[in-house]
Structure 1
Amino acid sequence: MDTEARNSSPDSNSLSVHNPDLDHTSNFRHDSPRDSRRDSPRDSPRDSTDDSSRDSTDDSSRDSDHNPNHDPDYDSDDGWVGVCVPPRCRLCTYRIEPDEWTVATDNNGEVSSSFVNCFLTTHEEVKLKKEFRPCTPHCSHDARYLEGAVPGYHADCFNYAGTNLSHDLLSATAYPFEPVPSYDLERERATTQLLATKIGNIWRRLPHELSLMIAKLLVREYTIATMQGLYTTHHQPDGVLDFSQAIWARYADIGGFGYIHELSTTGGPCFRKLYDPEITPKLGALYVLEDHLGVRDLLLRDPEGNRTESSPSCYQPGSWWRTITNPQKLKVEHDGVKVRKIEDELNNTSNLRNVTFSRPMPPGEITALEQHCRHLTALRPGTPLESLQMVPFHINGPGVYGYSFCWSYGLVYFHAHCEGEDKLAMYNDFDILTEDPFWIHLPVTPGEYINSIWFRRAEFNSSNALWIVTNKGTGKIIGTTGAHPITPGTSFLANNSDAKVEWSRLIGPLNEGQSVLTYFNLSAGGIQVFATPHPSSAAVPGPEPPSSLRSNYCEDTCLWFGVGASLANAVEIITFRKKASCLPTKIRFMNPYTDDWGTHSPIIGIALVYADRTTTFLGQWRLDCETSQINIEHAKAFYMAFRLVGPKTQQPYVSEIRLYAPSTSSEVATAWRWVKIDLSRPDELEWWSVKAWFSGSHVAHGDRGSFADTAGQVLTTIGNQ
């Protein structure tokens, strides 16, 4: 480990900072106790009584992430300004987890006292007149009362690196986009293995298991030392590479992954030749492999598509490929540690040329996608196209048995389920990247395929939706429904009576056996670009509107998902219970009758299985849910118990489904409400889910339901039934 680099004297570009932690002029105070992931950082003044800094729970900080125009009661006339602190350490480059101790530096180099990373709190520094607001990965940092984003650090990383931080070294850890959490896990595993091997080479008698345990504790410190050891003030300047000469590359290992440390036309020790004009006088395409920290490798192809001398790094999810067609001269940017960016000197700014893809995309395929590229939502001001990462969505692909769609204040992710896939990685990623994501599932039976996909554009991104139609007439809405029928040209949101919807076809109509490989940009803030090589037919009439579900209970401030299905010929109910590990960390569940707080996990959706073995899904569905089967083939009724989410939202959720009624008053009191579903009635069973802090649920069946304004029609007691 390069401790010499860490303790070296600051250069002319170093940043001499004043840390209030060192002279105890400010302290941290949190309003409510919580279990921290780590103990307080070393040398942090946790017990000081000075009130020069404070943290306060502020719901408006949550809203500001999703509503840049939201302006809470904030007095800016006294010189106070707010700044966002993104949840990624600019020293070790790893994510700052919730409840970890954090330090931030403002634009003037002043250092905050340590505070807990929680986006529900605001940390105030009286001496600096700054409000440090931990934000989310998809925060735009552009609210009126904010001064933008500032670097944040793990408090332990900051103490390890020292207070003399180089501006240039921090620029080497800047990131234009947030990587998926699984990529961080892969980097951590690679670093652990690399460091454990080095430890084993030094202490040969140490068991490998102990080396791994030690290495896992030193991942962050090792990454910081590596970056400091690689950094040099005399780094390669930005320049232009001319493909009329041979091109060589030297690599460096950072966090277990290789990056291009230097590009040269002369070569030298430890350099590898990437291109020789005498062997390949003309190039057809250059593929640049990069991630959020910089350029990892180059792949060169001749006009016939053959590979040249380069041998690219193995692809890992989280790395992205940028295509440069017919490269002649390249602009190269260096950040002192590695090559940060490579782009065509001609600066081709066509629609998709500057975005990155999850695989090397030949120029011809990009051209086909450009012809049918749609912007589902407007790009945020100042968002460059090169910050978009495009991932595939294979419609009607081989072995597809269903589709899942993630929604979090807008459409976020599409996924086609195939046999043999890693079924849980995407759930883990979006549980971290988004706030309580809502997953909607569309199953397909053998012989069933998607015929067309329609997009509903509304005034607000949170009201956009998809309407998917299969060849068997099955249709499903992917998005919110509200309290009104979803009909083109009519209002559909209870809190926005003037909103108009506009339907347009994204895909289709497709024929049997016809598959389409489409692409969309991966973003926790919502899908913005959708591209397909298959043109849609505007001449085909629009879709029939979905079932006109009408909720008896809809709060104006909530976003509702509603779906209904017939109970006729249903023989089985499959329940999907969300695992406690997937629940929002700030949500607890309350029994209002006994004030008993617990960690009861909710039933977030059900599947109705019919006699012909077809299946309809109501509510949410995730592959990592705990499932149970209830046979209702010969039953006359079943019963649903509801509890409340507390203490703020008071939204109900389904806690239990069973075939028998509660028999005692104490059993009745274990739930907020019991609902009897009579299977002899032909009415549809409606399932309403709400997106507001937690996906609570309501159900309705004829004139019975769990809605608050129908309390006389539900089973609050059993004796009269």
Structure 2
Amino acid sequence: MFSQSSIAGPAPPPSSVGFSSISREETKENMPPSYIEGWLRETQTLLVFPHCRLCRFKFQENDVVVVVTLNNKHSKPFLYAYHDSHMDKALNAEIVCTSSADKANGDHYLGTGCHFACLHFANKLDPKHAVREAQVSTDITHFHHELPLSGTTVTKAAYKSDLFLVYNPTKERVTEVGNQLQVININSKRQRFDSHAKEMFMKAKLLLHPNKGKPMSRLFAASLYTYEPPASEEKRRLLHIRGQLAMQLSKRFKTRVALPLDIWKSIADHLVSEFAICSMLGLPFRDSTEVSTTKDIWATHAKIDGISYVSKLANKRGNGAKLALRARDMSFEHPLYILEDHLGIREMVSSAQPPANKAEVSAWWRVVPLGVGEKISFTTDSLKLHYSPGGKQALGLGRPVSPDNCLWSEPISPQDIDQLFFYPSLAPKAIINMVSIPINQPVCTGYSVCWIKIPNWKSERKTGAGLVYIHAHQPGETFSFYEDVARYTDNYVWEYAPKVNGERLTDLSLLYNRHKRPQRQFTMAFRTSKKRDLIFGPYAENVSLGEKITFKNAWGWDSIATFSDFDTDTLWMEYPRFEGGTSGFVIGPQNGGLNRSRYFNPFKPLPPILPDPLPARLQDKELFQSSASLSGLLEIVISRSRVVGQYPRVCGLLLRYEDSSERSVGSFRIDWAEKPLSVPGKSPALFLNFLQDESRCLIADVAFYPQDSPAMFNTWMELSWADDLVWVYSWNDSYVYSV
């Protein structure tokens, strides 16, 4: 987290401002051979998270972005593209646009990403830089001619083109400074614009005098998220800021001009980013604090984007403070429950029982056990407070995962936390968000697990598979959760395991890929009361490179959870945020204790590792496998892809048997399920239409009788009803064989 002294103040934009998006290949061409070999080691890597650290809105594709470093150097402006990277010559660093799931370490540093327009606007808020407006305007002129951007939309209001209004003759623009609104006539002559700007920002200096620290420094510090919020929070912010500004405009100018509120909202659309930047600058500076639990605790709040955050805590009542916690309510039996989000603390409750859950996906609970006469420390980001475990300034990266650095999607008592098994692994982030999954609910009909391709910006070949979703199905549910994943990536696999009547999950074991760093890739094995093993996850990885993970590596399995024989349990997994992040941790209860043996013995022999030879399209990919018997089959349900622009391939099958049991093979999505196909009694075998060439390796259709093959790469595969079907597949390719 940035401190006040981390950034001494905003520097002027680079003297040579132009579009720079240099690929690694282009960079290497300009390097001497001795440097190419170790170029990643000799240059630092800056991670840029997907939101602007000034207006705090997410970057959109092709937004103009600038990166500011801790020593206050600026990169050249570049067009933002998620998961893109390029070499910046101004900083001599590789800039990687990534998600907050990634972490800073010895080789990777956190860069401060800003919209170029926001940085230009915020620079004016520091009087030290007001005299540089002419140079800034010149830089914008150069950049504008090199990369023309047209129009301003509601969703991208003021992100890119708002500051280019200097080119439009005599427009009336409303800018918020603190809580006051000034009307500025922007003329095509830049000198007149500079005059108005200097006058306005000198007034801003008077409004900001109660605050400490440079304006840019405070903005950067207060806008550092502890985790990336969901997309719904972005929409809420936009609507709130737009509505607030429109109401203030209508009240301010109602005596001059009477306009419908919708018109004011349209005007506000052009000022969303500026309003968001200025709204935080009017807040007073706050110091870190320490309070005693033996006395009442009073809280002062700061409202940001319609949400109140705790900005000050004290054992004495101050101006505007409200009673937050009573001394008599804080004890060892009454732990402290802190509701917080990505920006700070919203609420604090001390109670013997977990409080009622707030039905918000953007807020999480922290549980803090209290001792006798204990003092609690809180650190400041200059505007708001954050809980500091153990009295330290912050939990650093690389610490073991523990209750101290976990936030929970719903309140959980310390007693229940003590029953959870924390796998001895290092935390990739300072804060781990844990989301709950109900296990063994009476209404549960089955479980689905989703994995996505983990991109590797250093190597296209060495990728991985990461967990992003565990879902317990119920009758009458909606299937919107499927789109939560599909919205961010096309490279995903859904594994579905129907539940047998009266069946319960009894144990969970994980097989970690110990050769990967960090260890965020694993395979899951649920054991059931019906003596079944439900195995989810990658079967083998990068097979041609010799890095195999197979179910026969029994020595690698670790017992993670033991579930109750009668009650409903809760499994916790790290919330992945779906923006390139994956879940690296699964935490479960230890009912009756864990079997700490490192050996996992399947109830029945598992299928062979892989067919030989393996189809070319499946080589060098993360592979999954599932198998089921074809004997006693009654119906087959096809799950067929409905992705626009993709071949309508058969992703998976649901097999229904004469004994009313069900099994699934392949990647099966219930919302893609077609009408059941009854197996004819006279069918000689199961026939699968198999397409394989350089561009695809997939199953196109299913039949119960022999079919003609229309082309060389379009063949029908025959599977005997007496065999077991084995389905090996990756993100968009499949291969089937029988054993």
2:163 equivalent in structure 1 = none
Contact 1:518 1:533 in 2 (8 A): no
Alignment-mate amino acid for residue 355 of structure 1:
C
Contact 2:7 2:72 in 1 (8 A): no
2:639 equivalent in structure 1 = 576
2:170 equivalent in structure 1 = none
Cα deviation 1:447-490 (Å, max 9, x = unaligned):
222233232244234663122232333322112223999xxxxx
2:109 equivalent in structure 1 = 148
Instruction: Tell me if 1:474 matches 2:521.
Output: no
Alignment-mate amino acid for residue 623 of structure 2:
W
1:592 equivalent in structure 2 = none
How does 1:18-417 map onto structure 2 within 5 Å?
Answer: 18-20=12-14, 25-28=16-19, 53-56=20-23, 73=36, 75-76=38-39, 80-118=43-81, 121-142=84-105, 146-162=107-123, 166-185=216-235, 187-188=237-238, 219-230=272-283, 232=284, 235-268=285-318, 270-277=320-327, 284-301=334-351, 304-305=352-353, 314-326=358-370, 328-343=374-389, 345=391, 351-369=402-420, 372-375=421-424, 378-379=425-426, 383-384=429-430, 387-408=431-452, 409-417=465-473
1:47 equivalent in structure 2 = none
CA separation in 2, counterparts of 1:601 and 1:186? 36
Alignment-mate amino acid for residue 290 of structure 2:
V
CA separation in 2, counterparts of 1:12 and 1:618? 54
Contact 2:512 2:523 in 1 (8 A): yes
Instruction: Tell me if 1:424 matches 2:455.
Output: no
Cα deviation 1:552-579 (Å, max 9, x = unaligned):
3446632211112223343433333444
Alignment-mate amino acid for residue 148 of structure 1:
Y
1:448 equivalent in structure 2 = 503
CA separation in 2, counterparts of 1:169 and 1:493? 46
Contact 2:288 2:385 in 1 (8 A): no
CA separation in 1, counterparts of 2:111 and 2:269? 28
Give ranges in structure 1 of 5+ residues lacking alignment.
Answer: 1-9, 29-52, 62-70, 486-490, 582-597, 703-721
Contact 1:495 1:557 in 2 (8 A): no
Instruction: Tell me if 1:683 matches 2:712.
Output: no
Q: Residues 147 and 614 of structure 1: is their aligned pair in 2 closer, same or farther, counting only changes over 3 Å?
A: closer
Alignment-mate amino acid for residue 359 of structure 1:
E
Q: CA deviation at 1:286?
A: 1.3
Q: Residues 652 and 72 of structure 1: is their aligned pair in 2 closer, same or farther, counting only changes over 3 Å?
A: farther
User: Relative to structure 2, which stretch is displaced further, 678-687 or 291-300?
Assistant: 678-687
1:548 equivalent in structure 2 = 607
Contact 1:241 1:329 in 2 (8 A): yes
Q: CA deviation at 1:332?
A: 1.8
CA separation in 1, counterparts of 2:364 and 2:226? 13
Q: TM-score, normalised by structure 1?
A: 0.71
Contact 1:59 1:120 in 2 (8 A): no
User: Relative to structure 2, which stretch is displaced further, 546-555 or 322-331?
Assistant: 546-555
Q: CA deviation at 1:266?
A: 3.7
Cα deviation 1:135-160 (Å, max 9, x = unaligned):
244323447xx451201123443344
Alignment-mate amino acid for residue 479 of structure 1:
G
CA separation in 2, counterparts of 1:77 and 1:355? 33
1:565 equivalent in structure 2 = 628
CA separation in 2, counterparts of 1:361 and 1:117? 40
How does 1:536-685 map onto structure 2 within 5 Å?
Answer: 536-537=594-595, 542-544=601-603, 547-549=606-608, 550-554=610-614, 557-580=620-643, 599-600=646-647, 602-623=649-670, 625-629=671-675, 631-634=677-680, 637-642=686-691, 650-657=695-702, 668=711, 673-678=713-718, 681-685=721-725
CA separation in 1, counterparts of 2:703 and 2:678? 10
Contact 1:295 1:339 in 2 (8 A): yes
Cα deviation 1:260-296 (Å, max 9, x = unaligned):
2332344355432113447879972211111222111
Q: CA deviation at 1:170?
A: 0.2
Contact 2:688 2:717 in 1 (8 A): yes
Alignment-mate amino acid for residue 559 of structure 1:
E
Cα deviation 1:316-357 (Å, max 9, x = unaligned):
113221122226321121222222335464999994244222
Alignment-mate amino acid for residue 228 of structure 1:
L
1:32 equivalent in structure 2 = none
CA separation in 2, counterparts of 1:571 and 1:59? 59
CA separation in 1, counterparts of 2:583 and 2:301? 35
Q: Residues 684 and 215 of structure 1: is their aligned pair in 2 closer, same or farther, counting only changes over 3 Å?
A: farther
Alignment-mate amino acid for residue 332 of structure 1:
F
Secondary structure at the counterpart of residue 389 of structure 1? strand
Contact 1:407 1:413 in 2 (8 A): yes
Cα deviation 1:189-237 (Å, max 9, x = unaligned):
555665666667678986677777776776544432322332x4xx221
Instruction: Tell me if 1:527 matches 2:614.
Output: no
Q: Residues 225 and 563 of structure 1: is their aligned pair in 2 closer, same or farther, counting only changes over 3 Å?
A: same
CA separation in 2, counterparts of 1:73 and 1:496? 37
Percent of paired sites with the same residue: 21
CA separation in 1, counterparts of 2:318 and 2:253? 33
Q: Residues 678 and 217 of structure 1: is their aligned pair in 2 closer, same or farther, counting only changes over 3 Å?
A: farther
Task: Select the structure that is richer in helix.
Answer: 2
RMSD: 4.4
Q: TM-score, normalised by structure 2?
A: 0.70
User: Relative to structure 2, which stretch is displaced further, 531-540 or 329-338?
Assistant: 531-540
Q: Residues 116 and 499 of structure 1: is their aligned pair in 2 closer, same or farther, counting only changes over 3 Å?
A: farther
CA separation in 2, counterparts of 1:258 and 1:76? 46
Q: Residues 575 and 192 of structure 1: is their aligned pair in 2 closer, same or farther, counting only changes over 3 Å?
A: farther
Number of equivalenced pairs = 603
Alignment-mate amino acid for residue 392 of structure 1:
S
Contact 1:482 1:551 in 2 (8 A): no
Secondary structure at the counterpart of residue 393 of structure 1? strand
Alignment-mate amino acid for residue 572 of structure 1:
E
Contact 1:181 1:429 in 2 (8 A): no
Instruction: Tell me if 1:697 matches 2:734.
Output: yes
Q: Residues 492 and 120 of structure 1: is their aligned pair in 2 closer, same or farther, counting only changes over 3 Å?
A: closer
Q: Residues 530 and 696 of structure 1: is their aligned pair in 2 closer, same or farther, counting only changes over 3 Å?
A: same
CA separation in 2, counterparts of 1:59 and 1:403? 47
2:570 equivalent in structure 1 = 517
Contact 1:458 1:500 in 2 (8 A): no
Q: Residues 696 and 227 of structure 1: is their aligned pair in 2 closer, same or farther, counting only changes over 3 Å?
A: farther
Secondary structure at the counterpart of residue 166 of structure 1? helix
